[in-house]
Amino acid sequence: MQKKLSAKGQVIVVACAVVLVVALILCVIYLSSGSSAQDVSIKEYALVGKTHEGEYTVSLDLYRLIEDNYLPDITKPEVSENLAAFPDLQILSGIFFDVQFADGLYEISAQLATDKTPQQVDRILKRHGLRLINTTWIWTEEEMLFAYELNRPDVRQLDMREFILLRKDEQGEYDWVGVNHDLLLTATDWALPVNPDLLALHQGYQAIMALGVQMTRIFPSSTDIRYDFETTSSIENSEEILLANGVQLINTVWSWTRAEIDEAFARQPNIDVPQIPTPTPEETEEPTPTPTPEPSESPTPTPSPTVSPTPTATPAPTPTSSPIINSDKENSIKSLQNFDQTAVREAIRSAKEKFYGTRFRSSEVKANYFIVQSTTSAPYVNCFRLVYEIKLSSGTTYLVADIINVHATRKPTADYVFLTEYNSLSAALGTSGFPATQYTSYELTGGSMVFPGAPDTPFNVDGKVIPAAWSSTIVGADTWKVPQTSQYTLLQVLGYARNELFAQAGYDFGRTGTYFTFYNQFRWYVPTGNVTNTQLAAMNATAAKNVTTIAYIETLIKEG
């Protein structure tokens, strides 16, 4: 049988319970008051870096702060993937700094990226034993420089040649190169969190993921081949960001012989190399506020000699004197590879509009030929020809515009253009005046001409045509150097080159169609909604300017 406590024993038990409750209450009050909170000087965890313009930046050394104050390890998945359970870490990870410079002094103040009030933040941190102090301070220029030199980590040099991925096509030729981002991240020796939201806060990680590589095949002779590589980035200051995080990339531009690239391919890790799909633009697609590629185009990549010679058409009279023919045959081009066609097409457009004057309404390029002599007995070295359908105030007509002996460096004017008018399109099409016994004719459907050594795809491993266009200004000449393949016309490739800039700005393409499907497979693409030209210009003036440049070349190809 159990014995009952005596009255005295019961009094003692009740008294102990009361004391315990009071102690707990006092403990809670003590903790809530912050009296037991550990002072954390934010100034001590300020990391000073520099932008590519040389301006100082200040960021928080979050990982050292966590380690010094015995907080949960944010790099562990059980913490980073359940950050809502650690409100103190949520607050600390959102700290950023505002830096103001005036009269030789830097005023630095810590800011909080949170929707909570300062009082709420204080209470949360105090409940977890923390109190932030020294959140605002002033440094002289000498103190700022000292902090920069003190915080600058030892630089780890990484050779870009060791972190690339190569792919071969069915014929055994290398068709693209990309960056092995995972291997490169491992080599940095950074302790990276698993949580994607926290990764976004790590500037070094973002700089690594922005890296790409472009490869160009060069043919110094008929038997030699060289591969030129250049490291690119979709953000401007990636080099400075990496340096601030203790990483320097070396050998970012290099060349390999065929034997050297084969050796690199043999050393490549045995991993699945991403495949770049080859979608065809849809007829109903409306990808951006600017013109889109013609959906009905079908590329004609290979040379097609004329079927039979036809009589030379007599050029129509022009408002100026007789057209000029370049007499410098030695420097007249025999290939359009990497040739800037802008001036040639602008000269033809000028001559066309001058010829028709106020009667002119619009024009559309129906055919484009580049004709090259196949024997030295041919009187001309080359001819660049556009065939137009012209809408006039009086009706429709058809026009053939020729520039003969296009020079490698001299820009032609309207005075170099021969114009011949026809009553029907069938009469205007073709390469009349250039017999197949003396000339080889190439049809440039959609502006395209596929050259020896052309890759299978115009896209790099990140699905981009001109990766540098997001951060560097391009000119018209750059658009004629994009890879031209048998699967796409140049117009279609330029459509992707332009739309990839909108995609990088978050344009969602209505979340349907070819462009959305294509870009949605890449990690860098984060669709957020509609992006107009004006919004793009406010976000990235360089990218907006490049959109205008690409769209202008597209118009030259389509309308002349």
Quote the pLDDT of residue 372.
93
Structure tokens at 488: 């796409």
Amino acid at 319: P
Q: How confident is the model at residue 298 (pLDDT cuts 50, 70, 90)?
A: very low
Structure tokens at 305: 């000699």
Please identify which residue in the block is written with the tokens 């998945």: 77
| CA atoms of 531 and 509, how far apart (whole Å) | 9
DSSP state of 507: B
Q: How confident is the model at residue 289 (pLDDT cuts 50, 70, 90)?
A: very low
Using CA atoms of 469, 474, 480, 486 in order, give the dihedral in degrees to the nearest 10: 0
CA proximity to 484, closest of 517, 507, 457, 515: 457
DSSP state of 405: S
| CA atoms of 110 and 95, how far apart (whole Å) | 7
What's the pLDDT tens digit per position in 514-554?
Answer: 899 999 999 899 999 899 888 999 999 999 999 999 999 99
What's the pLDDT tens digit per position in 446-486?
Answer: 887 766 666 778 888 888 999 889 999 998 888 888 877 77
Question: Do the Cβ atoms of 508 and 528 come closer than 8 Å?
Answer: yes
Quote the pLDDT of residue 496.
93
Q: How confident is the model at residue 75 (pLDDT cuts 50, 70, 90)?
A: confident
State how beta strands 38-41 and 130-133 pair. parallel
Per the DSSP assignment, residues forming a β-bridge with 389 are 364, 398
**Angle at 381 (CA atoms; ends 379, 387), nearest 5 degrees:** 100
Quote the pLDDT of residue 323.
84
DSSP state of 314: P
Stated pTM of the model: 0.48
Quote the pLDDT of residue 278.
44
